[in-house]
């Protein structure tokens, strides 16, 4: 148990659905991240939030929409996804000066 | 931009033996952190060991140790007395400073064989 919780663990959605992934940490960290992990590809950084402000968006398609309502919660809203978006989505958090990222268990997303 | 390279996509080791996983990185920074993360089939990314670049002494955590060569930008992981539970994907990662994102290598799939 790392202190970072992601829900749901598994999600199957159609291309016309709208769903959201949730990440929660109560470690007192002030930065949170979304990563995408696809088979045979390196982990891809999608979004960075620091002190609840988005500081990085790595050319992610607009069908992915992040939200960080407070320093403990991070969401990834999904809309009209494509089959190639099927992947493991990992959330992580860090605290300035500690130099270590804590990860959730990921959400395995399948787009059909 | 920082890059991390793991040149061994897959490795295997006999139980109780020692194995070394390679990692090189590229950066122009002088202060940074390096990590090895383990991802077992359960998918949970777990920190194995960390190294601060300003420390010359190699980090050690029980059966896990690193060989950190700053000038060569090399950061290998040695696993001693390998156990079946060590079977996992291992990722080498770089972090510039406390609140910057991790940059990962592509990973090495390690299989420990009984």
| Burial group, residue A72, by CB count within 10 angstroms (0-12, 13-18, 19+) | middle
pLDDT tens-digit series, residues B2-38: 899 999 999 999 999 999 999 999 998 888 999 999 9
Chain A positions touching B99 (Cβ under 8 A) are 30-31, 50, 94-96
pLDDT at residue A97, as a whole number = 62
pLDDT for residue B111 is more than 70: yes
Among residues B80, B86, B109, B111, which one has the least CA distance to residue B6? B109
Residue B58: which pLDDT band, with cuts at 50, 70 and 90? very high
pLDDT at residue A42, as a whole number = 82
Q: What are phi and psi of B86, to 5 degrees?
A: -80, -10
Return the H-helix or E-strand segment holding A57: strand A53-57
pLDDT for residue B98 is more than 70: no
Interface touch A42/B47, C-beta < 8 Å = no
Q: How far is CA B49 from CA B26, B68, B76, B93, in A?
A: 19, 12, 11, 11
The alpha carbon of residue B114 is apart from the nearest alpha carbon of chain A, in Å, by 26
pLDDT at residue B99, as a whole number = 66
Tens digit of pLDDT per residue, chain A (112 long)? Answer: 679 999 999 999 999 899 999 999 989 998 999 999 998 788 999 999 987 777 777 789 999 999 999 989 999 999 999 999 999 999 999 887 667 889 999 999 999 9
Q: Strands A18-25, B19-21: parallel, antiparallel or unpaired by DSSP? A: unpaired
Q: Does A98 touch chain B (CB under 8 A)?
A: yes
pLDDT, average across residues B63-82:
97
Q: Does B51 touch chain A (CB under 8 A)?
A: no
Q: For all residues of chain B together, what is the average pLDDT? A: 94
pLDDT at residue B84, as a whole number = 97
pLDDT at residue A23, as a whole number = 98
């Amino acid at each position: 148990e790392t202190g970072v919780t992601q829900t749901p663990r598994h999600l199957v959605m159609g291309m016309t659905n709208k769903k959201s992934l949730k990440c929660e940490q109560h470690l007192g960290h002030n930065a949170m991240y979304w990563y995408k992990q696809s088979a045979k590809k390196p982990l891809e950084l999608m979004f960075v939030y620091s002190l609840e402000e988005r500081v990085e968006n790595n050319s992610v398609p607009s069908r992915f929409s992040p939200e960080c309502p407070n320093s403990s919660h991070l969401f990834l809203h999904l809309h009209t996804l494509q089959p190639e978006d099927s992947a493991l989505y990992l959330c992580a958090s860090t605290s300035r000066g500690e130099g270590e990222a804590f990860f959730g268990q990921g959400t395995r997303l399948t787009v059909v | 931009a920082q890059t991390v390279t793991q040149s061994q996509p897959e490795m295997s080791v006999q139980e109780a033996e020692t194995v070394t996983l390679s990692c090189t990185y590229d950066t122009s920074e002088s202060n940074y952190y390096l990590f090895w993360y383990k991802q077992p089939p359960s998918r949970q990314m777990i920190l194995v060991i960390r190294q601060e670049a300003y420390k010359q002494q190699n980090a050690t955590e029980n059966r896990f140790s690193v060989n950190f060569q700053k000038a060569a930008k090399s950061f290998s992981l040695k696993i001693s007395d390998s156990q079946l539970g060590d079977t996992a994907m291992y990722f080498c990662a770089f972090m510039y400073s406390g609140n910057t994102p991790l940059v990962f290598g592509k990973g090495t799939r390690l299989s420990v064989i009984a």
